[in-house]
Amino acid sequence: MDKYVGNRMYRVKGQVFKENGVLKKKYYAMSYEPETLHVAQLLDRLGVSTTRRVDILYGWNCMVAAIQEALERGYAVSMDGLGRLSVSCSSSPVDSASDVTPSAVRVKRIVFKADKRLREGLLHAKYVKV
């Protein structure tokens, strides 16, 4: 996929909508990522030596554990330059506020909000159709 280097990719998806009682097919763009890069691959791209790589991967694993612990304890975690992680929760609807008990609450999702610097870097990305 060398011809796509330096560009974000998208594909076109169609979906049927009901408009004024009539079914119509509309099309829209969806982001496309050909693969997921893992930390080790990012280090390869940075040309990190094997010795430093071991230290960085160890540090990365420690950060993941620390972030998980912080989220479990109810904190949000801000990673400067990258973004903020937090946890959202939910429960089934009940008739009374007193019926919302700790056992009824569950994690809904881990929320990531990109840092302003990261977002702004992507605002002017060029897209190509795949």
Q: Where are the domains of the chain?
A: 76-124
Pairing of strands 22-32, 8-19: antiparallel
Residues 6+ apart with CB under 8 A from 78: 84
> For 32-43, what is each residue's pLDDT tens digit?
988 899 999 999
Global confidence as pTM = 0.73
> For 51-91, what is each residue's pLDDT tens digit?
899 999 999 999 999 999 999 999 999 999 999 999 999 99
Residue 104 token pair: 């009824």
**Are 9 and 128 a contacting pair, CB within 8 Å?**
yes
pLDDT band at 1, cuts 50/70/90?
very low
Residue 6 pLDDT? 66
